[in-house]
Amino acid sequence: MTHVKLSMAQALNQALRDAMRADESVLMFGEDVGALGGVFRITDGLTAEFGEQRCFDTPLAESGIVGLAVGLAMNGMRPVVEMQFDAFGYPAFEQVVSHVAKMRNRTRGRITLPIVIRMPYAGGIGGVEHHCDSSEAYYAHTPGLTVVAPGTVADAYTLLRRAIEFPDPVIFLEPKKLYWAKDEVDLTVAEPGIGKAVVRREGADATLIAYGPTVPVALEAAEAAAAEGRQLQVVDLRSIVPFDDETVCAAVRRTGRAVVVAEASGFASVSSEIVARVTERCFHSLAAPIRRVTGFDIPYPPPKLERHQLPSVDRILDAVDDLQWDDR
């Protein structure tokens, strides 16, 4: 085993580097990803190692970036593109929904698009609107797209490697506030792939369901609850589409109570879908309605107010308290 201490940003950089070394068809491009190495330095050093033909800057035109990726993928390449910030991807949304997501179905499987669209997403860095959106619901709602969101350093590496190897398009959501989170990891260990959720913490009283930036918050809440005598289980989805019903539902059936934790606004959201499908599958095992802790249904607030928007330990514990504990 080879343990190294890496930040999530370094793990993502290593995943790109290893994928480009392993496969000459892998390309990386986007705004300022070349010599600068990207706003968050995820592509730092890739142009120096692989040259400007394989890691290069593009004009500030997200629709053109994704359109170029479609053409390259149709001709045998594996493009990885970066949307500089989450909401910067909206000008490319028509390309993503109308072409990236539909090409396999449109051509009856004759043409597939192995494209990875990386998006630094969600809040927690003191950014303003267009820099802190949680846009996963738009992509999760679009058939033909796979959507993943790592919540740990090890998963950042593993899921990006699996996404680049994937035969179809993947929306890869990178929690910005976790870019500098560090952990001891062994990159040679095979972690679960796309489509598999994992239980990050065992607990018998209630289940917290989280993904991406809310995984550490859920774990912190579970730690605080344990100090008060309540044992909370934490499930990390890792993959939003495909959704791992088996792992999530088994976890909820073990505890009978659940809270979904997500940064995105709650209305018509991924958290809404999770509550619906878990309720449909686990209704007779539930001791209380499933609660949600989400962002509010407002445009993303200015930096000094974002702490109120983001799910916190206190908000999670308040939701757990509301899970009808009369039988305990």
Instruction: Show me where the domains of the chain are located.
Output: 4-185, 198-322
4-185 shares its CATH topology with 198-322: yes
In 3D, which of 312, 236, 324, 311 has the Cα closest to residue 266?
A: 311
What tens-digit pLDDT sequence spans the chain (328 residues)? 578 999 999 999 999 999 999 999 999 999 999 999 999 999 999 999 999 999 999 999 999 999 999 999 999 999 999 999 989 999 999 999 999 999 999 999 999 999 999 999 999 999 888 899 999 999 999 999 999 999 999 999 999 999 999 999 999 999 999 999 999 999 888 889 999 999 999 999 999 999 999 999 999 999 999 999 999 999 999 999 999 999 999 999 999 999 999 999 999 999 999 999 999 999 999 999 999 999 999 999 999 999 999 999 999 999 999 998 887 6
- What is the tens place of the pLDDT at every residue in 99-153? 999 999 999 999 999 999 999 999 999 988 889 999 999 999 999 999 999 999 9
In 3D, which of 107, 274, 294, 328 has the Cα closest to residue 218?
A: 294
Where in the sequence numbering do the catalytic residues fall?
Answer: 131
- The Cα-based distances of 325 to 36, 288, 304 in angstroms read 54, 8, 36
Q: In degrees, to the nearest 5, what angle opens at C-alpha 247 toward C-alphas 143 and 278?
A: 65
- For the domain made up of 4-185, give the CATH fold: Rossmann fold (3.40.50)
CATH architecture type of domain 198-322: 3-Layer(aba) Sandwich (3.40)
**Alpha-carbon torsion, ordered 172, 176, 178, 181, to 10 deg:** 110
Average pLDDT, the chain: 96
